[in-house]
Each structure stands twice: as C-alpha cells, then as structure tokens.
Structure 1
C-alpha cells in the first residue's frame, strides 16, 4: 500500500509539472548592456541568462532585458541597506540588478498580473556566493 501511495504521488507530481504554463522569452528579445566597471561581459551575460531561464510568469512573454550600471548600483545599494541583502550578508560585488519589459497576454491564470498589459522597468535582483559562483534570482518586482 505504501508503494502504491508513493507511485500515485509521483505520477501526480509529473502531471502537475506537465500542465505548467511557463512564461516565454521572445525569439527576438532585445538585450542591452551598458559599459560596466563592476562586472565583466561574461558575468552580465550569465545574469541575463539566469533571468531568461527562470522567467515563469504564466501567460507572459519577456521582450527586453538590460543592464544599466548606474541604475543597478542604485538598486543594489537599497537592497544591501534595506532589503534582503541586509539579512543574507551579500556583498555589492556579488549582487546585480537587471531591468526588463514583458507583455502579459491574458492567456494564463495569474491573478496578480493585469491581462493585455506591458510591464516596464521590472527589476530582477540576482546574487551569487562569490565571483566564481552562479547567479540566482533573490527577488523581483518594482
């Protein structure tokens, strides 16, 4: 009986994953990167890839993502002084904020996002353990 319950739970979890309507990344997504004294091109590209790979707003399409060092530094300072960075001990050289635009087409069942709307300047805060570490999303929003 225990094996049957475990098998049923496993099957149900697979069906729930198949039914997910993950957000999409536009085929012609616009990517802009300003000059940076803080991060290499590879570091910024890896952060952008992290956001693209994890964009999961149901019924939405990511259309633009960019890095603006001046804006990013402003949001990093706020994150470290008032946000989660205060709690997790992140260091400025291991935090990056990217901005994005995405369209919501209304096809998903997302009670938070307004259907048929374009969200602009949406922020993604990414952190890593050290310079060699992988970026992970620690927060997003306005």
Structure 2
C-alpha cells in the first residue's frame, strides 16, 4: 500500500509533468506543402519547417499548427525582402507561411480564441554553420 506521502509525491510529479509538457503548441498533424523553389531543395525546406515546428511547439500554447508552405508563390512574394536581408546582414533569409488554429488557451498569447489564422509568416535565417535554420521572427509583418 502506498503511503500518503508517497501518494502526494506521485501526484505532484504528475502535475509538474503536465505543466511542463502539456502547455505546448500542437504539431502532431502538420501538412507540409513544398512546391517548386529556385533557391532551396526539399531537404533545406524541411529543415526550415522543423525549426518552425519546434518554435511553434514551445511558444504557441493552445494552438494547433495545421499547415506549413514554401513554394514558388511564397518565394516570389518575398524575394525582395529575402535579397535585401541577405545584402544587409550577410545571412540567408527564408520566409515560410503557415496556418494554425487557436483555442481558448491561446487568448493569453493575444490571439482570438477558436479562430483560424492563415498566412502567418515565419522568418528564418541560416545558422553560422549553414546546416540549420533559426526562427528570428513570426507574425503578419510582411
């Protein structure tokens, strides 16, 4: 039989695990749309998508990421911004678009609960080792 102290300790551990790991953005069923790109191959685009999913999971509590997009239309739409960033900062910039759904929990993040946000942009730069992408900004800034 479990003692009262052991029972309380187990309950506390369960609560801590839920708080630590239960407050994340949902990335379990993301549709990845990769079309033609004159700049990046599928592997590099997927690495950028991985970085966005990591950022979304850690920062978008109560939201569900439904789609990530990078294709010729996205590339053409943001080509001026990407080239200007490269010229100023000497780093590659990629902009990825996404769609996600919110819940009542996401109100604390400033989102309208139970809405779908479409065309949310993510700005990513290549890390110094040129192997990975890092999210530097997200929003409707473009």
Task: Tell me the TM-score normalized by structure 2.
Answer: 0.72
Conservation of the 8 A alpha-carbon contact between 2:67 and 2:99: yes
Q: Aligned to 1:110, what secondary structure does the other structure show?
A: helix
Tell me the equivalent position of 1:53. 54
Q: State the structure with more CA Rg.
A: 2
Alignment deviations for residues 77-127 of structure 1 (CA, whole Å, 9 cap, x no partner) = 23554xxx3896144xx2111100000011245241110100000000100
RMSD: 2.8
CA-CA distance at 1:24 after TM superposition: 1.0
User: Secondary structure of the residue that 1:53 maps to in structure 2?
Assistant: helix
Segments of 5+ residues of structure 1 without an aligned counterpart are 1-13
Could you report, residue by residue, the CA deviation over 1:40-68 in whole angstroms, capped at 9, with x for unpaired residues? 11101100111111102111000111102
Where 1:107 maps in the other structure, the secondary structure is helix
Identify if the C-alpha distance between structure 1 residues 131 and 34 changes in structure 2 by more than 3 Å, giving closer, same or farther.
farther
Tell whether the 8 Å contact from 2:82 to 2:94 is kept in structure 1 after alignment. no
Match of 1:66 in 2: 69
Task: Find the residue that maps to 2:108 and give its secondary structure.
Answer: coil
* Equivalent residue in structure 2 for 1:116, among 114, 117, 120: 114
What is aligned with 1:7?
none
Structure 2 residue runs without a partner (length 5+):
1-15
Native 8 Å contact 1:59 1:107 kept in 2 = yes
Secondary structure at the residue paired with 1:114?
A: coil
More strand by share: 1
